[in-house]
Amino acid sequence: MSKQNKIRRFLKKLFIALLLFLIAFSGYVAIETRNVKDMTIRQKVLKAVYPAFTWLGRITGKNSKVFTNELQASPPQSLYNLSIALNNGDSIPLSNYKGKKLLLVNTASDCGYTDQYDDLQKLFEENKERLVIIGFPANDFKEQEKGTDEDIEKFCRLNYGVTFPLAKKSSVIPGPEQNPVFQWLTDKNKNGWTSKKPSWNFSKYLVNEEGVLVNYFDPSISPTGKEVMDAIKK
């Protein structure tokens, strides 16, 4: 057999293998997303591959850092002086949450981490007595949150049953348009110890019952992972 024919046979086998993989993967995506009601094809694929995506992030160390307020530094400025503009048009003072832990998360609907909405909702339901979760939809990272506040609320409610508060869409990275809450979270002169900005969508900041920022968790750290759960139980 000539070298040229061998190459052709190899390419044919490769094509068939890729085709079979795509068929199998399409079936897997269909099964994994059979209960979704309002997702694009991209969102369905991202939802299906989320476990592998997170696993890869953890073993490579990408977006998997944790920062802790080891000295329990108190904030020079109180978080409780701020209010949140919610996506339904209401505004709520953060002082309403004194005595509970706060998990503040920047979110997006078209991200590899979007399926964390499911974990966040579970975490919220299981810890309502001591924890409040607030999502901050943002379009800062690769424009992965292009929807309106109404679109975002519908997407989260239909596909993940989200009942925890969602803020009005805003920017969470340092700059003139940065949400005031994230100005506090990312400025050590305000929170007392760190200027760590979100590394990507679904970065998580944990504030304790006294309004002290105690932890930052990178996106690859699951909301229901050991690191977060241990911090909440403290």
Active site residues: 111
Q: Which two tokens stand for residue 42?
A: 């991209």
| DSSP-assigned beta bridge partners for residue 132 | 102
Q: Which two tokens stand for residue 209?
A: 């019952």
Residues in the chain: 234
Residue closest to 194 by CA, chosen among 176, 212, 175, 168: 212
